């Protein structure tokens, strides 16, 4: 997504990244982009191989495997990617036991316990369903689905499987949101939220795969993060009966770039999401969020600083390295107190509803929450006729 900077620019970016993420993550990000074949870590803390990864691109390299290795050591079993070189370079650097040439070979390995799906967006659901069919623990990157049909199939698999599923949406696990939740939880009155997001996003060319309708467009690839965070915040209180959606497009020819999405609800919530990529921040995406609820006013400055005002009290937290929740999200399969999957179902339904609006260049519609959920449950019941319960044996 980033334009070539030249050696001096790349070095400057490395320094900036180190100031934001720390040297370890900054160097890892650089290695993820270049993947020199001669470079390998000097020390492996080896565990029993049980974790396999489908999709071995930059995010798998610089985030998912980075945090898994950091937290639990090298417990990597199999790697698969449609680009064999990507799979081999990830496997070599992180000490995977094997690279498979097909996803079935990876999925059918009897030692597989935890599956991480980090492939292209349109393939997330299919791989996650295959893992759940085998009753595995599955972490599926966002978006979990890019069509309603995919989401129906995935959620049916979730209900039938004795495995578990976790979504890669990370903002709810950021330290800023976790700290804010403690204060909102202590507030007894069910008030409305006022939320404003200003997102300076990556510049991507018109032919980039993120824009493809079959991959969900930037609505699923980018905007879904803040749709999901909004639903997560609503779940702290109660979900609204309806959400009125207004969309303003800067350029109708590129409707998923430079747009504002606004929500109002029957709970008197008002939410504004501005996603713009007219110019890209040097360090990549940056986010500024204001949240008001009852007597709480919170400002999140790029997930590097949180300021909360509550009456006469003002508190400030600074986060270094920057914490957008990646580490905690990646570690969900190994931790307790994770978010409710129903949040992800609803946020994905809303995201797909907005994606359809954008593809049709619509500017205003109402999302009837309980009606949409009831319709989704009906779809799940219909799908059970097409996809009977799993026949794979349960894991011992």
Residues 223 and 135 in one domain: no
Residues 157 and 223 in one domain: no
From 128, 152, 167, the end of a domain falls on 167
Identify the residue with better confidence: 387 or 42.
Answer: 387
Question: Is residue 194 included in any domain, yes or no?
Answer: yes
Question: Is residue 193 included in any domain, yes or no?
Answer: yes
Q: Which CATH number goes with the domain that contains 216?
A: 3.30.360.10
Query: Which tens digits make up the pLDDT trace of 142-176?
Result: 999 999 999 999 999 999 999 999 999 999 999 99
Question: Is residue 179 included in any domain, yes or no?
Answer: yes
Across 88-114, average pLDDT = 96
Query: Which tens digits make up the pLDDT trace of 358-383?
Result: 999 999 999 999 999 999 999 999 88
pLDDT at residue 396 greater than cutoff 50: no
Residues 149 and 178 in one domain: no
The whole-model pTM stands at 0.93
Q: How confident is the model at residue 6 (pLDDT cuts 50, 70, 90)?
A: low
Residues 161 and 188 in one domain: no
pLDDT at residue 43 greater than cutoff 80: no
Domain that holds residue 73: 15-167
Identify the residue with better confidence: 3 or 23.
Answer: 23
Residues near 61 by Cβ (< 8 Å), separated by ≥ 6?
Answer: 28, 31, 32, 35, 89, 90, 93
Query: Which tens digits make up the pLDDT trace of 285-316?
Result: 899 999 999 999 999 999 999 999 999 999 99
Residue 186 and residue 170: Cα distance in Å, rounded?
A: 23
Residue 47 and residue 388: Cα distance in Å, rounded?
A: 37
Residues 188 and 152 in one domain: no
Residues 350 and 245 in one domain: yes
Residue 211 and residue 85: Cα distance in Å, rounded?
A: 25
Residues 180 and 159 in one domain: no
Identify the residue with better confidence: 22 or 54.
Answer: 54
The domain total for the chain is 2
Asked whether 170 and 326 are in contact (CB, 8 A), the reply is yes
pLDDT at residue 4 greater than cutoff 80: no
Looking at residue 393, its pLDDT comes to 47
Residues 241 and 328 in one domain: yes
Residues 296 and 186 in one domain: yes
The full 3-state SS of 305-333, as one line of letters, equals EEEEEECCEEEEEECCCCCCCHHHHHCHH
Query: Which tens digits make up the pLDDT trace of 215-256?
Result: 999 999 999 999 999 999 999 999 999 999 999 999 988 898
Residues 30 and 92 in one domain: yes
Query: Which tens digits make up the pLDDT trace of 51-69?
Result: 999 999 999 999 999 999 9
From 118, 142, 167, the end of a domain falls on 167
Residues 272 and 152 in one domain: no
Q: Which CATH number goes with the domain that contains 87?
A: 3.40.50.720
Residues 161 and 270 in one domain: no
pLDDT at residue 211 greater than cutoff 90: no
């Amino acid at each position: 997504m980033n334009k070539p900077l030249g050696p001096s620019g790349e070095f400057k970016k490395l320094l900036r990244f180190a100031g934001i993420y720390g040297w370890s993550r900054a160097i890892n990000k650089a290695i993820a982009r270049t993947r020199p074949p001669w470079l390998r870590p000097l020390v492996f803390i080896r565990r029993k191989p049980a974790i396999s990864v489908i999709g071995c691109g930059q995010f798998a390299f610089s985030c998912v495997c980075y945090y898994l290795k950091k937290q639990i050591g090298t417990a990597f079993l199999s790697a698969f990617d449609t680009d064999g070189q990507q799979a081999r370079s990830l496997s070599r650097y992180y000490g995977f036991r094997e690279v498979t040439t097909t996803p079935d070979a990876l999925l059918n390995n009897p030692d597989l316990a935890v599956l991480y799906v980090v492939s292209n967006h349109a393939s997330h659901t299919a791989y996650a369903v295959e893992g759940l069919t085998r009753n595995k623990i599955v972490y599926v990157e966002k978006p979990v689905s890019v069509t309603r049909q995919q989401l129906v199939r995935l959620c049916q698999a979730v209900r039938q499987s004795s495995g578990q599923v976790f979504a890669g949406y990370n903002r709810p696990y950021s330290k800023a949101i976790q700290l804010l939740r403690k204060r909102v939880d202590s507030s007894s009155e069910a008030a409305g939220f006022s939320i404003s997001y200003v997102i300076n996003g990556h510049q991507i060319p018109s032919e980039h795969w993120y824009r493809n309708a079959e991959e969900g467009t930037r609505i699923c690839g980018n905007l879904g993060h803040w749709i999901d965070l909004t639903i997560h915040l609503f779940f702290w209180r109660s979900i609204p009966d309806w959400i009125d959606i207004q969309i303003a497009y800067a350029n109708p020819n590129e409707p998923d770039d430079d747009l504002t999405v606004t929500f109002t609800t029957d709970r008197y919530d008002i939410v504004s999401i501005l996603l713009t990529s007219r110019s890209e921040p040097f360090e990549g995406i940056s986010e500024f969020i204001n949240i008001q609820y009852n007597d709480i006013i919170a400002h999140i400055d790029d997930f590097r600083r949180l300021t909360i005002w509550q009456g006469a009290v003002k508190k400030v937290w600074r986060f270094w390295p920057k914490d957008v929740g990646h580490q905690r999200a990646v570690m969900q399969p190994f931790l307790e107190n994770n978010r409710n999957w129903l949040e992800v179902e609803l946020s994905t339904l809303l995201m797909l509803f907005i994606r359809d609006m954008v593809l049709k260049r619509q500017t205003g519609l109402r999302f009837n929450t309980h009606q949409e959920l009831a319709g989704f449950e009906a779809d799940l019941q219909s799908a059970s006729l097409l996809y009977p319960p799993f026949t794979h044996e349960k894991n011992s």
